[in-house]
Structure 1
Amino acid sequence: MDQSLYSQFFCLSLYSKDYPIKPSTLYHILTGKRTASILFKAHTYQLTKFFSIFPNLKREQYNQMIQKFIARGWIKANGVSEEFYLSEQGKAEVEVYFSEHFYPQRLNQLLNGKATKEFWKKIVFLTQVLSELRYQNKRYLPLDKEWKNQLWVKNWLKNRPLDKQELALSFGKEWIQVLANLDSFSAEIVVSQLTGHEKFGKTITQLASMYKIEALEIAFLLQNVTIQLMDQIVRKKEIYPLFYLIYQECIGDPYSSLSQSTKLTAYYLDKGLSIENIALKRNLKANTISEHVIELAIIFSDFDVSNVIPDTDYQRLITVFQSNEKITYEELEKEMPHVPFSWYRLIQVERSRADE
């Protein structure tokens, strides 16, 4: 991510007038440092939807941007701490800028950012292959050079019962239907990205130049349109059977957003194993498994915290939190010395869902 005007105002928009944010923590959220503490902060700051949105952001570049915000009075220090609030001036600057620019409201990077990217990549590649197939052209450069993705296309085509020409026609008709339900600008951007027979899709940089807006704004627009497409396909899957098959492959696994290690922990939890038994089975520390559990509770709003805390302790914890919602772990230890920090954090996550 370069230090473009759009990226600066986007980062400024992540600060709040209602609660202070620590710039170093925000940096770890934006770059996707996947620890239980950072994930919890992303949850607290209501920024899980932007988790890992700038994985290549350089720390020095980010710090320079924050210093600019401070110098201009756009963010104000919370007393002597390292946390900052968005100032009235900063809020006004954000509102003016985004009154004329797109703001990515619908993203959910933590839950399905990877799956959304995969869906778009597959559907664009398959569009090229089916377009060339429609014209019986076998001499073209595939968009995707990775063998595993080329193999996916071959297997996907092989497993469809339709004749290849019929398949290409049906896929094209689904594109026409799905585009008809987008606004004209979104549809234009999508079509501009597609590659097919004697047509080459434009890059994000080329689109940014064409529309005279920054590349990051175009990238966010495309992500937003992809989410719109996916929502539409799910709502009317009977109209988009081919697109829906691809959607299912990308989104079908509820744990697709997780690391392999956390995914395995989720699998064992589903089997009814306790945190201690999972740790023994996997030859890992119980604290590591507990961090996985906190991650699951943050990502999945229907995760049942009471399943991983003994019932008596769970009920007592609920009672304690009801009497003191802002209780610290140090204060809790005085009342319940045996309670691990992970239980404290899980109850915090569970109780914060009511405010969402």
Structure 2
Amino acid sequence: MIFNGIILTCVAKIQGERTVSSIYHLLKGKKSIQTVQDAHIYRLDKFYCIYSILTKEKFNRKIKKLTESGLLNPVENQNSIFQLSNRGVNWLEEHKDQLKIEYFNGLKYNETADIFYLRLLLLVQTLTNIKMRSFNFIPVTDNHAAERWVKQMYRTMKNSEKNVTVALYDELLTILKYLPDQDATLFVDRLTGYKNIGLSTNQLSQKFNLTEEDVHLLLKGIVHRMITLIYKEKEHFPLHVYMLKDLYKSNQITQSANKTNQLLEKGYSIDQIAAMRNLKTNTIHDHIVEIALYNSEFPLNNYISINDQNEVINVLNKEKSFKLKDIKNSVNVNISYFQIRLVLAVNKKLLRIGD
């Protein structure tokens, strides 16, 4: 149900302006400026990279199933473009309280959530085994970064393991009280402790009568929900804050875009930067659009005049469309695709039609 709901929500948001492949790339977390910009423009950033292990075959089967069940309608003469049927609209309304969409914060947490979760799983396993004087257990994860962190944590807390164990239990119990009982139980059943192996995704799906896709998404959503709460109530969860502190990224732009930004700040032109970095001009354009997405003080006037900005915005408000080709065909011929994308990036919060 959750997987169905997320796909239907995405289709509803993009309003036939993108193919369903854009939804697949969004869920997978494709590191392209087009996918990231779409996430912002269509207010789908919460779903970015929440299903990184999703295969194209499984996604296509799901689209086919939703279409056969009458929830999606293919748009005539438009390859791979779908819209919600009336039945699909009604289905979303009827099930909105069961979809857990409010849990997700994918674009913000996609590089934080997975490693935080692995640290938590391994720390719970380590502390419970140490308490029982068991030192030869098989780690619940083979992620080397998580293992190194827990080993370092163990060296730090040596001789105070009991206090740390109690603190972790108390904090985790408090966090889980914010979740519905079934979600909290599912999360706990996944944990591995002393002589207690956490349930697999398949086992959880059978126990809670969920699809494996929904179990994966629900666990991901719960971790996002936890992180949101931890950041909001930092003083109540010092141990969890410690698990997160070196994972937080205040600057979300990629390393390559950041290098371009540094050169822009030194006064180099786009062509100069492209030559210096041995990159195509279009790649530098992509970097600048990425910078604009995250920089609230981006100097848009340096790239497009105020009059041209207003023309693009007027077209957006009139056409109710984010298709670049449609916008380009409706504005002054001298306004480039790059400039249009920049206007969209800077004004992403103001331009979304509906919610």
- Give the TM-score band, short-chain normalised: 0.7 to 0.9
The whole-number CA distance in structure 1 between the counterparts of 2:105 and 2:88 is: 25
What is the identity, as a one-letter code, of the residue corresponding to 2:182?
F
Match in the other structure for 1:321: 312
The secondary structure found in structure 2 opposite 1:85 is strand
The C-alpha deviation readout for 1:148-176, integer Å capped at 9, x for no partner, is 33222122333459733333333233223
Is 1:261 the equivalent of 2:256? yes
| 1:157-236 correspondence runs (5 A) | 157-159=154-156, 163-236=160-233
Q: Which stretch of structure 1 is more off in the superposition, 9-18 or 180-189?
A: 9-18
Change (3 A) 1:268 1:141: farther
Is 1:343 the equivalent of 2:339? yes
The whole-number CA distance in structure 1 between the counterparts of 2:47 and 2:202 is: 22
Change (3 A) 1:273 1:209: farther
Change (3 A) 1:90 1:118: same
**Structure 1: tracts of 5 or more residues without a match:** none
**CA shift for structure 1 position 117:** 1.7
Is 1:14 the equivalent of 2:5? no
2:296 to 303, 308, 311: 303
What is the identity, as a one-letter code, of the residue corresponding to 1:46?
R
**CA shift for structure 1 position 347:** 0.4
Identical aligned residues as a percent:
22
TM-score under structure 1 normalisation? Answer: 0.80
CA contact (8 A) 1:104 1:220 kept: no
The whole-number CA distance in structure 1 between the counterparts of 2:76 and 2:163 is: 67
**CA shift for structure 1 position 193:** 1.5
What is the identity, as a one-letter code, of the residue corresponding to 1:117?
D
| 1:1-356 correspondence runs (5 A) | 7-8=3-4, 10-16=6-12, 19-20=15-16, 21-70=18-67, 73-78=70-75, 80-82=77-79, 83-96=81-94, 98=95, 101-159=98-156, 163-250=160-247, 252-255=248-251, 259-265=254-260, 275-276=270-271, 278-298=273-293, 300=294, 302-306=295-299, 309-310=301-302, 313-325=304-316, 326=319, 328-334=327-333, 337=334, 340-356=336-352
Change (3 A) 1:289 1:212: same
The secondary structure found in structure 2 opposite 1:253 is coil
Change (3 A) 1:80 1:44: farther
The whole-number CA distance in structure 1 between the counterparts of 2:192 and 2:266 is: 45
What is the identity, as a one-letter code, of the residue corresponding to 1:329?
K
Change (3 A) 1:224 1:272: farther
Change (3 A) 1:315 1:89: same
What is the identity, as a one-letter code, of the residue corresponding to 1:36?
I
The C-alpha deviation readout for 1:124-151, integer Å capped at 9, x for no partner, is 1112112222333212111122333322
Q: Which stretch of structure 1 is more off in the superposition, 342-351 or 175-184?
A: 175-184
Q: Which stretch of structure 1 is more off in the superposition, 210-219 or 86-95?
A: 86-95
The whole-number CA distance in structure 1 between the counterparts of 2:66 and 2:182 is: 33
**Structure 2: tracts of 5 or more residues without a match:** 320-325
TM-score under structure 2 normalisation? Answer: 0.80
Change (3 A) 1:159 1:31: same
The secondary structure found in structure 2 opposite 1:254 is coil
The whole-number CA distance in structure 2 between the counterparts of 1:6 and 1:187 is: 17
**CA shift for structure 1 position 17:** 8.2
